[in-house]
Structure 1
Amino acid sequence: MALNKDRIEDAFLRLMIGAVSRVPYRARVRIFGWLTGYVIAPLAGFITKGVKNLQLIFPEMPRAEARAIARRVAVNFGKTTIENYSKDELAEVLRHCRIDGPGLAAFHTALAQGRGVMIASGHIGNYETLRVAIHNMGHPVAALYRPATNPYFNEHYKTTMESLTGPAFEQGRKGVLAFVRHVREGGVAAMLFDVRAARYGDIAFFGLPAPTSPFPAEIALKTGALLLPIFTHRCENGIDHEVYFDTPIAPSAPEAMMQELSHRLEAQIRRFPDQWLWIHDRWGNAEARANRTARSKEA
């Protein structure tokens, strides 16, 4: 029964993508954004989840404001999805977009020295554009990804990622080893660190404990790679993007490095609150865990 449901969901998504792919690029991006924000997200409960997370972090925020932000987040996510299935047009758009920041020179220096670059980013803007922008510079970018729960969707999800910029390695022992090898050999790799990784320890994110994988920091330390935060955001016209190469993270203890990465991402989200993926489950039962931690410290 679950497989039938997965097939139906995947078929529906493929149908939508196929239909809008016949439309010119700019209209295609806007149409798919609208469909996601005003049709798919409400039906899937994403708007409700976004409001819950926003009010968890900003309890003083009026519900109407939180709902408006969650809606714009869903629209951005829809635009991101169809852009990533339109790789040639997206790559062309990025050739004319602003790409800068204090870490850009360090990026080029590391590669010139044969040193790997471990990019760490979050689900903000179109988070795949950083890889496309770097690929435009002539550097393939490997990705480490968590398989989608829908096996039919996952099949073309992986193919799409690989077609964008380079190899995509599935999380797991084999995939992680290949990913690390790519970095150690002087390659560029990217990983989104702001997913809830329940098997790992907590890092403070917006003042609440958030389970966070230490992989980006550990890989950088293990391989000697440059650990570079890069963030993207969507411009006001809804089509163009900016890619910001932040200052590299200095080597230290993995937890401290991940905490600094979280602070950097938090600063970006405060600038662009309607472009981060508030509709995903970042904190889990953060309030309960925070209360337990506080009580244990008092004891």
Structure 2
Amino acid sequence: MDTVLYLIGKLLIRCAQTLPLRAVARLGRCAGVVAYWADRRHRRVAIENLLRAFPDRWTRDDADACAREHFRRLGESYCCALKTAAMPWSELAGHVEFVGVDQIHAWRQAHPTGSMIASIGHFGNFELYGRFNELARGFQCASTYRGLRQPGLNRLMVSLRERSGSKLFERRSEAGALRNAMSSGGLLLGLFADQHAGDRGLPLPFLGRVCSTSPAPALFALRYDAPLFVCVCYRVALASWRIEVNPFIATHVDGAPRPIADIMSDVNRQYEDAIRRDPANWFWVHNRWKPGKHRRVQPAPTDEAESDPAEEPSPLPGRASGLNRG
């Protein structure tokens, strides 16, 4: 079965890469329509999430319309990711705009050996975060991922995502290598923090309801004295995206580290702003507000005995998550 999945995946990637990007985007949107009607479970999750996120503004018809557009965008994003992974920057640059990168360059000039943390989310074509390598010169872009159960398919997806030049660290087996890379400096590490984080997540409000939130971006930023910012990918037209870098989030006040929960609450608020700006652009098919236990809210880590951020749970098992190819 692993070989069959590998061959199917390779065939789909090759087919997508032979077509023009806008044609791939249109096919992806058509696939999204099919998925909307065929995948009843995720359709219901998306509609219920939308109604609970905007209880005073939206009717069920509003939520249904947004969910349909959301599925179309998911199809567009996933199919385009197969194409854009192989596109040289000279061709892709006309489809992607980066905004706010100047602050990264300015910080890099002042801290030539430092590392940075980007808290990213499942907005738009989030696989494009890996293209930071084209603009953030001097940094090694990287992220973590949790390997797929099928070895062949996992190799295929990792190789596809690493074509951007970004480095991937497998969360369960390469935590030590990630720590060494962060300590060496010069890393721009992207971490998804907009999905359910399991029992080890912090209980923080998000769109009006408490949910499990990964503390990993704040933990990394504090442990390695790295600046932290939120980055969002917006869809602006068919097969066109804008990736915006938000201002740095304060990790210290008067020289003292801020509580991790406070830092991640700031991250959540910026995610919320991005969602309200374009609701169909976010990942509504994920059950962000699963019930369950949460970790105890703790102050900032002060030494290596505290929880290891490299071991934080993946928001979407089986996917690379960050400034890599996904």
Q: TM-score range by the shorter chain?
A: 0.7 to 0.9
Query: What is the Cα deviation at residue 137 of structure 1?
Result: 4.2
Q: Is 1:221 aligned with 2:222?
A: yes
Which position in structure 2 is the counterpart of 1:126? 125
Task: Quote the Cα distance in structure 2 between the aligned partners of 1:265 and 1:136.
Answer: 23
- Farther-moved stretch of structure 1 (207-216 vs 61-70): 61-70
Contact 1:142 1:179 in 2 (8 A): no
Which structure's residues are more often helix, by fraction? 1
- Aligned-residue CA RMSD (Å): 2.6
3-state DSSP of counterpart to 2:280: coil
Q: TM-score, normalised by structure 2?
A: 0.77
- Superposed CA offset, 1:31-54 (max 9, x none): 12321x112343233222211211
Give the one of 257, 278, 288 matched to 1:272: 278
Output the TM-score relative to the length of structure 1.
0.83
Q: CA deviation at 1:217?
A: 0.6
In the TM superposition, what is the alpha-carbon distance from 1:253 to its structure 2 partner? 1.4
2:173 paired with 1:177: no
> Between Structure 1 and Structure 2, how many residues are aligned?
279
Which of structures 1 and 2 has the larger relative contact order (alpha carbons within 8 angstroms, sep 6+)?
Answer: 2
**Distance in structure 2 (CA, Å) of the matches to 1:9 and 1:74:** 23
| Equivalence for 1:260 | 266
Aligned residue for 1:232, secondary structure, equals: strand
Summarize the alignment of residues 1-299 of structure 1 with structure 2, pairs less than 5 Å apart. Answer: 4=1, 14-35=10-31, 37-45=32-40, 46-60=42-56, 61-86=58-83, 87-89=85-87, 91-92=89-90, 94-96=92-94, 97-101=96-100, 104-112=101-109, 113-114=111-112, 115-138=114-137, 139-148=139-148, 153-172=153-172, 174-184=173-183, 185-200=185-200, 201-235=202-236, 237-251=237-251, 252-285=258-291
Mapped to 2, the partners of 1:81 and 1:143 lie a distance apart of 19
- Tell me the CA shift for residue 150 of structure 1: 5.7
- Match of 1:274, SS state, is helix
Contact 1:182 1:188 in 2 (8 A): no
Equivalent AA in structure 2 for residue 217 of structure 1: A
Distance 1:153 1:43, change over 3 A: farther
Q: Which has the larger displacement, 255-264 or 24-33?
A: 24-33
Q: Which digits, 9 at most, give the CA deviation of each residue in 1:168-214, with x for residues without a partner?
A: 11222x43332333233221111111121112221210121111111
**3-state DSSP class of the match of 2:279?**
coil
> Distance in 2 between the 1:276 and 1:149 partners?
26
Structure 1 residues 9 and 32, CA gap change in structure 2 (3 angstroms): farther
Give the Cα separation in 1 of the matches to 2:122 and 2:88: 18
* 1:100-120 deviation digits (Å, cap 9, x = unpaired): 23xx33311332212111111
My pick for the range that moved more, 258-267 or 121-130, is 121-130
- Structure 2, unpaired ranges of 5+: 252-257, 294-326
Whole-Å separation in 2 of the counterparts to 1:158 and 1:116? 23
Shift of 1:224: 1.0
Task: Report the secondary structure of 2:198's partner residue.
Answer: coil
For residues 71 and 153 of structure 2, the distance between their equivalents in structure 1, rounded to whole angstroms, comes to 19
Q: Contact 2:141/2:188 (CA < 8 Å) preserved in 1?
A: yes
Distance apart, 1:64 and its partner CA:
2.1
